[in-house]
Structure 1
Amino acid sequence: MPLDDSELTVVLSNLLNNAIEAASKSEKKVIEISTEYYEGKYIIEVSNSVDNLTKSMVADISKIRFSTKGTGRGYGLYNVKNIVEKYKGKVNMSLEEDIFNVLIEI
């Protein structure tokens, strides 16, 4: 994987921390994590249940200081996106019903 250890730690810890926090506040309490190497790309996918996210918010969620959790937050997914884009990778986020999904391809 092209990311160094500290970058991979930032990516995984932010994704997992966000998933745990959001799922703990939702009714379903679902978290799914998968990693694979497919067709020359590393894939990291984290999905979790949410209660306070709408489809219109998904486009803004990786912008700096955007947070559904209060003030002084909103740097995690912004940092993840910057690290992934540094390596010409992609971050795709989506919301289907009450499941938020982050798919990273590097």
Structure 2
Amino acid sequence: MWAIGSTAFVILGLSIFALQTKWELTITSGVLLTLFFVLIAFGILCAVIQSMWIRITYASVGSLIFSIYLVVDTQLMLGKKHHYTLNSEDYIFAVLNVYIDIINFCLSLLRFVGFLK
């Protein structure tokens, strides 16, 4: 229940941040893709080296990356004055991306508290 509550709190805060911020994070998609591949490689390393501290670090980095993905996807959906926007036909795709970001963030928090291994 702590992970679900903290996920809801963080997601609400990040969504409000994405709605009102003047910072444009939509141009960081290439950096986020690179960080995601580094997270995958670190996950493989975590599977080989079994340590509690490495799992906590992996979960922390994963939750950070997926929270940035959530802000970027929310800004893509809004499309205000940002560099990249989505068409009106792509909103189903954007909503699915936000949903996947929320699920991955929640899974990272569950790994952080030790419920998932």
- Give the TM-score normalised by structure 1: 0.32
Name whichever structure is richer in strand by fraction: 1
More helix by share: 2
* Structure with bigger RCO (C-alpha 8 Å, 6+ apart): 2
Q: Which has the larger radius of gyration?
A: 2
